């Protein structure tokens, strides 16, 4: 059966609880899902390549990818499908505290879209991603000096900490609600009522996003000097200095 174990008693939709069991309905459109997994890939890749001059172009390419993804997500948060819109999930401190208190009591309210505490981590991740990429760009273009480098590294590490909290929240939330949230970010389907579903997955937008990202990577790849050329990986870094790690 296509029902889930979420109890209607824990339900916190826009309407009062009903006795019927919840079904899996389409909640996350395709652009949200493709955006998310590209963010994961870009963050992990940028973090892992941060320290090496040899991997600098990969680091910078993934960083710019992340900046583009955040810009897309801000626009999609204003014009996208209902559960993707900031207005539908960004909540104030009272709602966040109430959700966390419910968690402590072992009965957190179920939300079809993001829960208020998860939303806080999401907004923090988008904001930190914007700052880390802006500082990375300034650093790469030798603007601002040492403090920009420190800021870039510090914000990247703060982001890593928030990612840890985010993933822990996803795992605890999945367990408490009896709903596989990671699976939902892959399939788009989550426990809800038929009227909570989004009407279209907007696959064409996701395909265009993927093509834009792949096109950018291809462009960067073609612009890169052959592997093993001195001073790392970009004409940019060759122009600026010759030292390598």
Residues near ligand HEM (CB under 6 A): 32, 35-36, 39-40, 43, 46-47, 50-51, 59-60, 63-64, 66-67, 73, 84, 114-115, 118, 122, 125-126, 129, 132-133, 136-137, 139-140, 149, 152-153, 156, 163, 166-167, 170, 181-182, 184-185
- Whichever of 19 and 219 has its CB closer to ligand HEM, that residue is 219
CB of 220 to ligand HEM, least distance (A): 12
Q: Return d(Cα 194, Cα 196) in angstroms, integer.
A: 5
- Whichever of 9 and 186 has its CB closer to ligand HEM, that residue is 186
Q: Return d(Cα 84, Cα 106) in angstroms, integer.
A: 27
- Whichever of 19 and 230 has its CB closer to ligand HEM, that residue is 230
Rounded to 10 deg, the angle between the 116-140 and 30-48 helix axes is: 50
Rounded to whole angstroms, what are the CA distances from 65 to 41, 62, 71, 97, 125? 10, 5, 10, 34, 15
CB of 99 to ligand HEM, least distance (A): 11
Q: Return d(Cα 64, Cα 141) in angstroms, integer.
A: 13
Q: Which tokens sit at 239?
A: 């122009």
- Whichever of 19 and 146 has its CB closer to ligand HEM, that residue is 146
Q: Which tokens sit at 20?
A: 């019927």
CB of 212 to ligand HEM, least distance (A): 16
**Residues in the chain, total:** 245
CB of 138 to ligand HEM, least distance (A): 8
CB of 86 to ligand HEM, least distance (A): 9
Question: Nearest residue by C-beta to ligand HEM?
Answer: 63
Give long-range contacts, CB 8 A cutoff, 24+ apart: 1-8: 4/178, 4/179, 4/191, 5/178, 5/179, 6/110, 6/177, 6/178, 6/179, 6/191
- Whichever of 182 and 211 has its CB closer to ligand HEM, that residue is 182
- Whichever of 48 and 218 has its CB closer to ligand HEM, that residue is 48
Q: Return d(Cα 14, Cα 70) in angstroms, integer.
A: 28
């Amino acid at each position: 059966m296509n029902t889930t174990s979420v109890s209607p008693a824990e339900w916190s939709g826009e309407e009062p609880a009903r006795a019927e069991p919840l079904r899996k309905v389409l909640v996350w459109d395709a652009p949200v899902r493709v955006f998310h997994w590209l963010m994961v890939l870009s963050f992990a890749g940028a973090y892992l390549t941060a320290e090496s001059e040899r991997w600098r172009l990969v680091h910078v390419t993934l960083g710019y990818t992340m900046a583009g993804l955040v810009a897309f997500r801000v626009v999609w948060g204003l014009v996208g499908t209902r559960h993707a819109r900031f207005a539908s999930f960004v909540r104030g401190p009272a709602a966040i505290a109430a959700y966390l208190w419910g968690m402590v009591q072992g009965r957190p309210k179920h939300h079809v879209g993001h829960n208020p505490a998860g939303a806080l981590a999401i907004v923090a991740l988008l904001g930190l991603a914007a700052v880390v990429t802006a500082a990375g760009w300034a650093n790469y273009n030798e603007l601002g000096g040492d403090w920009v480098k420190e800021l870039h590294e510090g914000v990247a590490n703060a982001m890593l900490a928030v990612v840890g909290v985010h993933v822990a929240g996803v795992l605890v939330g999945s367990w408490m609600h009896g709903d596989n949230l990671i699976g939902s970010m892959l399939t788009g389907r989550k426990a809800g009522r038929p009227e909570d579903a989004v009407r279209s997955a907007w696959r064409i937008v996701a395909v265009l996003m993927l093509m834009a990202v792949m096109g950018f990577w291809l462009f960067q790849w073609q612009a890169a000097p052959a592997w093993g050329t001195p001073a790392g990986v970009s004409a940019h870094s060759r122009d600026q200095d010759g030292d390598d790690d």
